């Protein structure tokens, strides 16, 4: 069987016309280069070089075989480039779980740009408001709202300053009036969210360091945060939404903040993964991209 090292040394010897020069280039003893060429000649049953004490040149058989040897090495190198990524190239498949509203309206563009920057990478994105089990579900990372109190997985902060804001559409405000107090807020229709069977119809607000809780009533409820956002834009009521989810709607005038003197509760965004060993280059680069995007959005949080 041909040895790759022997083949490589033959091609370099043909180029340099010297076993000694090849040995110095490869960091090998000259005798090892000579042995490699003899081994190759024995395998091919031909003489590749005409040797003398002063010169080294290819035989006619060696000249005939040289382009084929070179082609074999070139083909091998091309094959290696196909299966081996450079150190700075990200490839493979990255599986991501992300909340529906955040994913569709903010992070999808980040994911698209990230994929364009790393064309050898494939993304598998799961949009859902159900709590992803990073140990059981087929995901590498998950973006999750809320304070992390589970030490069984790795959690990296993405947007620690994010919080909820009360919003409604200009059309809804025009029809129903804008509530100016918490008591007035309780008289208006709220768009409430269901998570794991629980209805979140008690909203927490902060004003001048004081915590307030307000019971709200709703005619429409949903377990999909994107649905709540769309209903708010459509003028169906007041929503209590994450700033990251509605910042663009506010900037574009589709939604307006209600009771701006009150701050909603904190909803930090984190990136989680099951084990530290899964913090691959792709995961770390994605984390940086998402954190950068969220940091820009949080500059304008009221």
Mean local confidence (pLDDT), 75-93: 68
Question: pLDDT tens across 101-142, in order?
Answer: 899 999 999 999 999 999 989 999 988 877 655 545 678 899
- Out of 65-79, 162-176, 263-277, the most confident range is 162-176
> Counting Cβ atoms within 10 Å, is residue 260 exposed (0-12), middle (13-18) or buried (19+)?
exposed
- pLDDT category at 3 given cuts 50, 70, 90 is confident
How does DSSP assign 276-289, residue by residue? Answer: GGG--HHHHHHHHH
- State the total domains in the chain: 3
Confidence (pLDDT) at 87: 47
As a whole number, the mean pLDDT across the chain is 88
Shared-domain flag, residues 189 and 238: yes
CA distance 43 to 20: 22
* Neighbouring C-alpha atoms within 13 Å toward the C-beta of 74: 6
Of 34, 61, 83, the last residue of a domain is: 83
Confidence (pLDDT) at 15: 85
Shared-domain flag, residues 230 and 201: yes
Shared-domain flag, residues 178 and 260: yes
Shared-domain flag, residues 273 and 256: no
CA distance 45 to 214: 92
The pTM is what?
0.68
Shared-domain flag, residues 143 and 281: yes
Of 83, 114, 137, the last residue of a domain is: 83
Confidence (pLDDT) at 231: 97
Pairwise pLDDT comparison (280 vs 132), residue with the higher score = 280
Shared-domain flag, residues 29 and 154: no
pLDDT exceeds cutoff 90 at 81: no
Shared-domain flag, residues 151 and 272: yes
Shared-domain flag, residues 283 and 209: no
CATH of the domain at 273: 3.40.190.10
Shared-domain flag, residues 274 and 130: yes
Domain assignment of residue 66, given as a range: 4-83
């Amino acid at each position: 069987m041909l040895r790759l090292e022997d083949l490589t040394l033959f091609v370099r010897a043909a180029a340099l016309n010297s076993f000694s020069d090849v040995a110095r280039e490869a960091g090998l003893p000259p005798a090892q280069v000579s042995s490699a060429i003899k081994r190759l000649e024995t395998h091919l049953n031909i003489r590749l070089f005409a040797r003398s004490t002063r010169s080294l040149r290819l035989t006619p058989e060696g000249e005939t075989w040289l382009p084929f040897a070179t082609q074999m090495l070139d083909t091998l190198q091309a094959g290696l480039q196909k299966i081996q990524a450079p150190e700075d190239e990200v490839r493979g498949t990255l599986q991501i779980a992300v909340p529906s509203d955040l994913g569709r309206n903010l992070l999808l563009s980040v994911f698209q740009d990230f994929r364009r920057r790393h064309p050898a990478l494939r993304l598998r994105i799961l949009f859902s408001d159900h709590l992803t089990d990073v140990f059981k579900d087929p995901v590498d990372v998950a973006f999750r709202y809320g304070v992390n109190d589970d030490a069984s997985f790795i959690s990296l902060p993405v947007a620690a300053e994010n919080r909820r804001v009360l919003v409604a559409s200009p059309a809804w405000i025009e029809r129903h009036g804008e509530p100016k107090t918490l008591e007035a807020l309780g008289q208006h229709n709220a768009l409430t969210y269901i998570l794991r069977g629980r209805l979140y119809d008690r909203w927490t607000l902060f004003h001048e360091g004081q915590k307030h809780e307000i019971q709200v009533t709703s005619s429409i409820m949903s377990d999909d945060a994107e649905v709540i956002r769309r209903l708010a834009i459509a003028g169906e009521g007041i929503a209590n939404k994450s700033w990251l989810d509605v910042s663009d709607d506010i900037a574009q005038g589709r939604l307006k903040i209600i009771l701006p003197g009150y701050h909603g509760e904190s909803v930090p965004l984190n990136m989680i993964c099951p084990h530290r060993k899964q913090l691959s280059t792709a995961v770390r680069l994605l984390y940086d991209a998402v954190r950068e995007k969220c940091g820009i959005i949080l500059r304008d949080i009221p």
